[in-house]
Each structure stands twice: as C-alpha cells, then as structure tokens.
Amino acid sequence: MKRIFTASIFTLTLGILLHAQDPFFSQFYAAPLQLNPAMAGVFNGKYRITANYKQQWNSLLDTRPFQTLAAGFDLRNAVGRNDFATFGLSALRDHAGKSDFQRVGADLTFSYMKQLDGSRYRAYDQFLVAGAQVGLGQHSLDYQNLWFSSQFDLTLEQLDQSLPSGEVIDQTSNTYLNFNAGLLWYVVFDDNQSLWIGGAIHHLNSPRVSFIDNGGTESLDRRWLAQIGGELPFSHSFSILPAAVVTGQGPSLLSIFGANFRYTNRDWKEIAIRAGAWGHLVKDQLDSFGSPNVTFTAILEIERWNIGISYDVGAGKLAAPTNGRGAFELSLIYIHPPSRKEKVNCPKM
C-alpha cells in the first residue's frame, strides 16, 4: 500500500515536472536528428543510421516504465566543389505510464552544409550548416486505464470505475503537422581537435494537441535549444570531448553538461573507447532548480559502429522515491565510409 501511495505521489510530481515536454536522450550526441536538424550530414561518412532506446522510472512503475525509441537515417551528397546537401528521415515513439500515453512522430530532414574555409583534402575545415524538418506527430492514450477522484466511493472506501468520471475527453488520439529548424557552425583544426556551436527551434507552428474536440486549446510549446562542444587532445591517443546542451519548453528548462574521454591506440586500428559523466540541471513549472541525476556513459567504437550505454543515478528530488535509479539508455550508430569525392571533415560528437 505504501508503495502504491508513493507511486501515485511520484506520478503526480512527475506530471508537474514534465508536463507537455518532449522526450530527451541523455546521450543526445547519439540522436542527432532528434536534437537539431542542422546535425544532419555532420559525420565522417556517406550515410548514417542511428537507433536509440531509453527506459525510465522502472523502479516505481514496474511493468509500465517510460520507454522511448528513436531511429534515424541521413544521406549526404556533394553539391559543387565544397558544399553538401543531406536528406534524412527520423522516427520516434514515446510511451508513458498506466494511461498508455503515447507520442509517435516521423520527420523528413534537409540540411545544407556551406564550407566557409578549408579543404576536404586537408585536416582543417570550417562549415555552417542550416537544417529544417517537417513531419507528422500523434498523441494518444487509453482512457479506460484512467480513473478520477469522482470515481472513488467514499462509503465503500474503494475505487468504482463504473461511476461517471465527470471529465470531457472527446477523442483518444490526435494527429498534427510539425516544423523544426536549426543552425550549426563547426571548425575542425585537426583529427582530434574541433569546436562546434549550434541551436534549434522545435514546434515552430505550436501544433494543437488537445484531446477535446471543441474548445480544447492545449498546444505543444515551442522548444528552443542551444548546444556547444568540441574535442581537445591530450596526446595523439587520448582526448576529451566536452559538450553542453540547454533546452527550454514552456516554463521548463533542462541543461546537460559533461564530457567523454576518448582513448585509442595505433595497434587497435579502427577501435576506440569512450567513458564519461554528465550532470543534469532542471527548472520545473514551480521555478525551482534541481539536479535530478548524473549520467555515466561508456561507448565502444568498432570500425564503422558506435555502441553506447548509459545509466542515470538520481541525485535530486526524485532520488528517494526512485532509490536513486534513473534512466537506462542504449545507442547504436552505423556510418558507411565515403568515397574520396564525398569525404568531408566533421567533428566527433
């Protein structure tokens, strides 16, 4: 009973903290098309395939944890001598809690990479990238799995879902059109030294997502995002990849900052390992700041593949009810090597 009560309070608190917020991966650098449409084409290859999985709040919600799946594909082509155009496709499915609330979406992406300085045949290169996305999204829920206070029988002191809920919910799903746009500037100084800065705005059209046919005004708030990162070498084999992302949507604000350390060896050929830690800061609807978790990451680079795993350790308001257990993530990236004509210098993300 205590656990059920705790879970109920937790769900209510979570609703306040995460109301109408987009899902977000702690391994944001491994979900480029979900982060910023201008990141399409920014990789050392001809085409790229990405896949991401996230599971959250399993310690309290047992068989119904929050789960997020994402996948992406982008293909880059040369335009003229030094510029590039990229076309991409991405999809996302986010499933949350007992109500089976679900968000699904698919986006078409286009980006244009304009070379500002350098040459694809030298280590130094500088690009400005503009990207845009258009897509369809859908929100849905299972109304039969929900209950309301008016359905609690005070005489019997128990829930009776045969009682009227008193709520007006005309539909269990809605579909909407969505637009995103972003910019990214980067400079590559050497094979293991780079800098990148970018930003994006999601839901430019603030699509309506209300489940009420007449009079429902709820819409997706625009979400802005700023990002910065790079790579700094300690030696030819050892480097650090620091990065930070700040994103705001409505009254809520999320920032993730940290670094992965990367090590390789000449004898390993095309193999490298990365490990790091990332802190999270959140401002919720109550205007309170907190550090909900710390993420520990490990990544294995094997020739054309990047395989990442991360785990969040609770450190804020939700640490006690969740026993310090946060989100678990897996990421997979495949990059197909380019021909000499298609080669372009890009930073490691």
What is the pLDDT at residue 266? 74
**Tell me: the pLDDT tens digits for 280-327?**
988 765 555 566 689 999 999 998 999 999 999 876 665 555 555 678
DSSP symbols for 151-216: GEETTTTEE-TTS--------SEEEEEEEEEEEEEEEEEETTEEEEEEEEEE-TT--B--S-TTT-
The token pair at 271 is 């193999």
What is the pLDDT at residue 49? 98
Per DSSP, helices labelled H in the chain are 2-18, 32-35, 58-61
Residue 65 lies in a domain: yes
Cβ atoms 341, 78 nearer than 8 A? yes
What is the pLDDT at residue 80? 85
Residue 156 lies in a domain: no
Q: Give the Cβ contact number of residue 66 at 10 Å.
A: 19
Cβ atoms 87, 107 nearer than 8 A? no
Residue 230 lies in a domain: yes
Q: Long-range contact list for 276-279, CB < 8 A, 24+ apart?
A: 276/241, 278/26
What total number of domains does the chain contain?
A: 1
Residue 170 lies in a domain: no
> Looking at residue 287, which CATH number applies to its domain?
2.40.160.40
What is the pLDDT at residue 34? 97
Cβ atoms 308, 273 nearer than 8 A? no
Residue 291 lies in a domain: yes
**Tell me: the pLDDT tens digits for 83-97?**
999 999 999 999 876
Q: What are residue 101's DSSP bridge partners?
A: 96
DSSP symbols for 130-156: EEEEEEEEEEE--GGG---GGGEETTT
Residue 112 pLDDT grade (very low, low, confident, very high; cuts 50, 70, 90): very high
CA 265 to chain centre: 31
Q: Which of residues 241 and 219 earns the better pLDDT score?
A: 241
Q: Distance between CA 308 and CA 301 in Å, rounded?
A: 9
Residue 344 lies in a domain: no
pLDDT(9) > 70 = no
Domain that holds residue 108: 2-142+175-336
Residue 162 lies in a domain: no
List of residues 6+ apart from 57 with CB closer than 8 A: 10, 14, 65, 66, 322, 327
- Percentage of the chain with pLDDT > 70? 74
Place of tokens 């920014």: 42
The token pair at 16 is 């306040």
The token pair at 112 is 């244009």
**Tell me: the pLDDT tens digits for 187-225?**
999 989 999 999 999 999 998 877 665 556 678 899 999
- pTM of the full predicted structure? 0.84
